Amino acid sequence: MKLLFDFLPVILFFGMYKYAENHKDWAAATATDWLGFMVLGGQVGVKEAPVLLATVVVILATAAQIAWLLLRRRKVDAMLWVSLGLVVVLGGATIWFHSETFIKWKPSVLYWVMGVTFWASHTLFNKNLLQVLMGHQIDLPAPVWQRLNFAWVAFFGVMGLLNIYVAYSFSTDTWVNFKLFGGLGLMLLFMVGQGFYLSRHLKQEER
C-alpha cells in the first residue's frame, strides 16, 4: 500500500496523458482554457497538450498527498517534499515553455537526490538511513546494512540514468509507459531481490 501511495501521482500522470493523447483536440482546447495564462504565448498545441495536462495532474496529486498526510497528522517524508518541489519547478517550466524536457528530467533528479542522500548520510554523517528506517523491524550485522545501503545508492543512480536514456532515445509515449511500468516493475524486482538477500542473512542470524 505504501508503494501504491508513492506511485499514485505517476499513475494519475499516466492516466491523464493516455486520455489526452487519445483526445488531442479536447486536450489542446482544455489546456489552452485552463493553462493559457500560465504558458508562453497563451496557446497550447495538440502536440504538447497531453504532457502539459498530465504535468498539472501530477503537481496536484503530489500536493494532495502531502495535504492528506498533514490532515491525518502523519509524518511527511522528506523525499515527498523534495518531489513536490521538483515537480512544481520542473513541471512549471514544462508548462511555461511548452517543453516536455523539464518534466522528463524530474524522475532522474529525484532518483539522484535520494541516492546522494543515502550515500551522504552514511559517508559524511556515519548514519545508515536504511537501518534507521528498518532497524526496528529486523536485526542485521553492520556490514549487511552497509551493503544494502549502497545497493540502494546504486539502484537510484542507475534508475536516474535509465530514465534519461529512455527520455532521449524513444518517443514521449514510450517514456510515459516506462515511467509507470518500467519504474514500478524495476522497483519491485529490486525489492524482491533485496528480500532474498535479507532472508539469507536472517536465517544465518537465527542459527
With a cut of 50, which residues of the chain have pLDDT below it?
Answer: 205-207
Name the pTM for this structure. Answer: 0.86
* Length of the chain (residues): 207
Q: What's the confidence (pLDDT) of residue 202?
A: 66
SS3 of 1, please?
A: coil
Q: What's the confidence (pLDDT) of residue 66?
A: 95
Q: Which residues contact 48 (CB under 8 A, 6 or more apart)?
A: 31, 98, 99, 100
Give 42-98 pLDDT, tens digit per residue: 888 899 999 999 999 999 999 999 999 999 999 898 889 999 999 999 999 999 998
Taking residue 137's Cβ as centre, other Cβ atoms within 10 Å add up to 6
Q: What's the confidence (pLDDT) of residue 1?
A: 61
Q: Classify each residue of 169-180 as buried b or exposed e, where b means 16 or more C-beta atoms within 10 Å of its C-beta.
A: eeebeebbbbbb
Q: What's the confidence (pLDDT) of residue 150?
A: 92
Q: What's the confidence (pLDDT) of residue 206?
A: 47
Name the nearest CA neighbour of 76 among 85, 65, 86, 61: 65
Separation between Cα atoms, residue 80 and residue 100, nearest integer Å: 22
